[in-house]
Amino acid sequence: MRRVYLGMLALVLLLGGCVKKEKAELGGGVEKIPVEVAEVRTGEIRDVLKFTGTIEGRDQVQVFPKVGGKLIKYLVKEGDVVKKDDVIALIDRDITGFKYEPHEVLSPISGRVLKADLDKGSLLTPQTPIAIVGDTSSVKVKIHIAEVDYPKVKIGDRAVLTVDAYPGREFEGKVSKLDAYIDPITRTAEAEVTVANEEGLLIPGSFARIFLFVGRYKALVMPLDALLRMPGTGSFYCFRVMDGKAKKAFLKIGAIRDNQVEIKEGLRKGDLVIISGQSGLEDGVSVSPILAKGNGDER
């Protein structure tokens, strides 16, 4: 009886070993997570320079009196449209022993009164700005271009302006002026971006962001959906598929444009990166990759 029992036990162990061997050979028992992947490729990146500045009227000047004295009154208010040589304010010269007619302060240009806020009776000198007048049918922003970027920029280049007052809205403009001189102290050249302002939404004095489009360049790129960021450190990484497993790759990235990311370090052309299914994914997990449609073509 004992001999029969031992024989049956040996048979069970033998069969169990064969089953395990077969599963190992067939990959059975290892759950593969389905993921969508895209190929790292060479693509084109829009070269965009970013600046900040202050909005000014196309023609904008401070108005100064020619004589000193006390402000009698303004003849205009902020927002009024004036023509060149229109009277903006009157000044009492008030010199003891002399009697003068009120001095007229004239607008040096045609435009809109942007500022006229001094109090009646304010003491003025020829160095005191009494008002600001500007033509706001279009506006300009002065920017300073770094020496390294100067060769990229030319008059007529497309620009986009944004302001906090209208989030999500873009105002189209262009480079209208570019100095032919680089300041040896700042190593920058001054340029002006002009933007149409028919609706009058762009107010002089407002803070503006400028995006200057200066061409395209070729670079290694991957879809933005593949990009992940480590909590705490903020390091960028992605998962790539290697030998059927998800492997974490830390990245040095460049520009992010048009839903694609410029890769400077961490990946090579032809690598497969996971763009969907990363949720809860761990390094070294077996995956079943599915190539995203339309991927892998060079542009």
* CATH number of the domain to which 178 belongs: 2.40.30.170
Closest CA to 242 of 274, 276, 280: 274
Q: What is the DSSP letter of 86?
A: -
The domain containing residue 271 runs over which residues?
33-45+218-291
Tell me if 17 is assigned to some domain: no
Residue 299 is predicted with a pLDDT of 34
Question: What stretches of the chain show up as alpha helix (H) in DSSP?
Answer: 2-26
Q: Identify the pLDDT of residue 280.
A: 81
In a domain, 5, yes or no: no
Residues 233 and 172 in one domain: no
Domain assignment of residue 60, yes or no: no
Residues 112-134: tens digit of each pLDDT: 999 999 999 999 999 999 999 99
Residue 234's region, left for phi above 0, alpha for psi from -120 to 50, else beta, is: left
Instruction: Let me know whether 81 and 38 are in one domain.
Output: no
Residues 247 and 277 grouped into a single domain? yes
Does residue 13 fall inside a structural domain? Answer: no
CATH code, 104: 2.40.50.100
Final residue belonging to a domain, choices 216, 239, 270: 216
> Which among 123, 110, 22 is positioned nearest to 63, based on CA atoms?
110
Statement to judge: residues 283 and 233 lie in one domain: yes
Let me know whether 268 and 248 are in one domain.
yes
pLDDT of residue 295: 63
Predicted local confidence at residue 232, as pLDDT = 86
pLDDT score for 194:
97
Instruction: Give the CATH number of the domain where residue 246 resides.
Output: 2.40.420.20
- The confidence score (pLDDT) of residue 258 equals 86
Q: Do residues 111 and 148 both lie within one domain?
A: no
- What DSSP letter does each residue of 203-255 carry, written as one string? -TT-EEEEEEEEEEEEEEEEEGGG-EE-TTT--EEEEEEETTEEEEEE-EEEE
Residue 222 shares a structural domain with residue 277:
yes
The answer on 242 and 194 residing in a single domain is no
Which residue stretches of the chain have pLDDT < 50?
Answer: 1-27, 296-299
CA angle 112, 114, 115 (to 5 degrees): 135
pLDDT of residue 16: 42
Domain count of the fold of the chain: 3
Is 278 part of any domain? yes
Q: Please state, in angstroms and rounded to a whole number, the distance separating the CA atoms of residues 204 and 136.
A: 8
Smallest Cα–Cα separation from 114: which of 99, 125, 130, 128?
130
Domain boundary among 128, 156, 176: 128
Question: Which pLDDT does position 288 carry in this prediction?
Answer: 93
Q: Are residues 266 and 211 in the same domain?
A: no
Which class for 293: exposed (0-12), middle (13-18), buried (19 or more C-beta within 10 A)? exposed
In-domain check, residue 255 = yes
